[in-house]
Amino acid sequence: MKKELVTQYIQAYNNFDVEGMLANLHDEIVFKNVSSGEVNLQLLGLSAFKAQAEQAKSFFSQREQKITSLEESADKVEVNIAYSGVLAVDLPDGPQAGERLEMEGKSIFGFRDGKIISIEDIS
């Protein structure tokens, strides 16, 4: 069951389907993005997550998270991800619109009441 929730979430992400991403999230979702060991984004609650997900849609003209491995335990699912995307906007002091980004990362999903309660994206 948990694996299916994660797979549906990632499929919705790849399709820019924010409502689909939200469908399996707990109202008290906690999202953290960790890059180089530093938390650079933390969101609490469904409305904050939705606002960020809607905003992030405009950053990419194309994006895909591909699961390279998945490990399910009693209370979490950990997936290794190969990420690729094409920027739709110029990033300050960084890549420009039209450039392809590729990276490897890991996402850890926690669960409560049959829904995803936490997501930690690590790159």
Q: pTM for the whole thing?
A: 0.93
- What domains can you pick out in the chain, each with its CATH number? 2-122 (3.10.450.50)
Main-chain phi, psi angles of 91, to 5 degrees: -95, 140
**Helix intervals (H) in 1-123:** 2-14, 18-22, 46-57
Q: Which regions of 45-112 does DSSP assign to beta strands (E)?
A: 60-72, 76-87, 100-112
* Number of neighbours of residue 19 by Cβ within 10 angstroms: 9
Residue 53: exposure state from Cβ atoms within 10 A (0-12, 13-18, ≥19): buried
Mean pLDDT in order along the chain per 10 residues (123 residues): 97 98 98 94 98 95 97 96 96 91 97 98 95
